[in-house]
Structure 1
């Protein structure tokens, strides 16, 4: 058994180690005790949140405005009361995003939470890149769909015109057949180009969308980060229950599918209740089935068969171009899968994505 002086020396060594760690870490970190008193912080935290030496020993409530995050005290108290780790994305008023991890500081002797250690990891660049990538993909897909759609009609008209010209009398029009032949040849070439474009579009050739073994949880994390601002603004609750997680699929395509469905669930929420979006996965008859359910405005039964058509929209209350669900359906069907929907007006909808599992 250690003597009193030995115990003091041991505590001093441990304190020196902790002080050394806090001085040298490159991550903004705080230590707050069970009375919500700020006890320590790292130099990066001092710089990022404009903390000063005199703030040590003060109630965190006195300096909470430095963090520009209104519910930080409630979050810390929740971890102290529950001894559960809390992970949350927060945005400060300077429009930077952080992964905030609040970890309970548990005293082993009595197994009680005596405070929390809070770390802040800057994820601004990641969220910005994800948003930019989704935006570019959506714009490119919409552009290609629009081009194919808009060119089809004039091409059809040109075909009919050529057929009519072929039936005209040839008297005094000796060069007309040759001209028609050239026009017809050009027309066929344009048709072939469009056919190749559309075929390659859904055969995974664009963007080098190579299939790989994916973890659904990681894809959902990317989607959640991309939609962080919408989730925060709407105060939506996002619940995830993963039954099966691994799937061989193109990362960009799966992310785009889930992004569209989760984004719609938030976008078409009901004005009289907080949005609740639940994502589940399970295995069924050789497919991974991912369901995205919400408690939103729902879809009228008469529209259930048309919502996957291009330029069709569920409602006019939110921004959109009516292409998202069309792209979801086309992508899945091209990969041997499908998407289904069930819905009740003013109760919500459930979209189920079927992805074929490989051996």
Structure 2
């Protein structure tokens, strides 16, 4: 670590040349592509180039087996096959593979093969998706070490022959005579048989009686009598017992003679090699290949393989056969024979170029005409042609993969057509909007200005470009800007009707009151286009409204004062009536005419008293219109109202059924919401039918921009001729129940003042249904 006082070294800005760094690594390294069977050389270290007497131009881009071919004069050299096995294992297992020491001969500068021995390691390099991207092969020339070891082994070969025989990694034995007496068997052969050295000297089938069942006696007789060797490959055996797993062996039975002139062999020399691991690995590979083939066959996108100059169809999955409109009978046939219509569409030329050059080819959104059932049909495809290589690097075939994008292209064409129509429609809209006397505007879904008409521009006194640049924030009344922006953004987010009264600066600097209203506009696919609306100058109306409000307040004050001032005289009249009754003689007070007159007077006083009280309530309602709306949980208020109405419900033997979900909130005055619910539910119980108990159902639905509460009863019902008058002041249509006739008037007033609405549908003798629309 550097001391804190010492500056850190600077890092160069130029990118690292990893290719040069790899080539300069000390040691012998190869970077190979995992493209079996070629394994193309991508990079090579300079040390290995010098060691193998090659130039980088001779190596890069070639198959490693082309650069370093097998020595045809050394068939026992296992280098190429061991290298191929190591590369395959590393690519398949994604684990490093350590090769045994192998002989891999190399040509010298004169072109003559020289024996070489190597110790090598293959390591897979994975990409971000966990797939093998490269194979890094590290090797070390140990020829001199091997030669020294060979010399040492030659010196000790004789004394070690017997020990090596016994310790050989393969099973070896010598069987003599027609009884096949076990003359010699190493440890591996005993493991193969499941025996111990104690069987030495015994006839084979006495020591292993179950071996006859596998036909080994006949094989040994054949070899011993004919002198011809027998080779067994991947022979399954269970000498150790049926409970043990099957083992697979490659074995050789070779006759041996005591003297070269003998006509009959003295015995049989046996060598067996356990290849169980290789067999199981191959079976797993074969199973994996079957799974891959099944995966390709079931892939939803077209895949085919073409081989040879005539691009014969070697394989094609069902998706490709469907794309061609052909059956499996096309397999094995030349591509041009199966799809001649492709000749004039550059497809053959593209494939021939890939086959000739080895360069992959791909194209997107390509229009293709395919003849299916005798009729040409148009499709659009993404497709690719990928070359397949022989070990020598030559191309022997092509893989064709594709994706049908016909629906996507047709949809794009429809969108482009619609966009053109939309642009034309928008131009017509602007022409009409510019001719409108009102201010017409449109905004994007992010609330930014899309367009304003000529009347709007004349109002603010700037060009459209200038207005789009500065936006409406420069013209709104400063104290109202934040509120106006919030209302517009909230409406867009909820996609509800936008309505706002605000002040805006005119071209002469005067702030004028505007009433702006807008609604969401949508594309045909349902996506929000933006908001389109208009604005009108309501300054004069605003001033008139203020005067009307003042007049209305004066009237309210007059009604309130009058009702208050009339209470005392009415109470006095009622007191005088009671006093008069007390002063009359009993016979006069109880006479029919006097009784009738006094009752009528009392009823008039009572009605007058109720009328004054109702007027007071109406005035109070007018004064409470400005009460702040808050978020109120509908179900909670409904539950409280139902509790208050429990005595009335019980007396009527009725039912109140609610389907209002818990947690649902509406923006309304809490006090007014309770009054609305109480009036509607109590009316449903009071105006019940005489022949059935009342049943009141309360339900909810969302109908943007409203929450809709519905109260339905099975009561008396209201005639169609009376329904329009139902919400008027002092309107009553059933007089057998006590009431004032202003309850529904007050309900409608409260709902209207909150920006909602109330509707009724009713049938005499069936019942009524009230729908209350609360704003979001």
Normalised to the residue count of structure 1, the TM-score between the two structures is 0.43
Considering only CA atoms, is the larger Rg found in Structure 1 or Structure 2?
2
Normalised to the residue count of structure 2, the TM-score between the two structures is 0.20
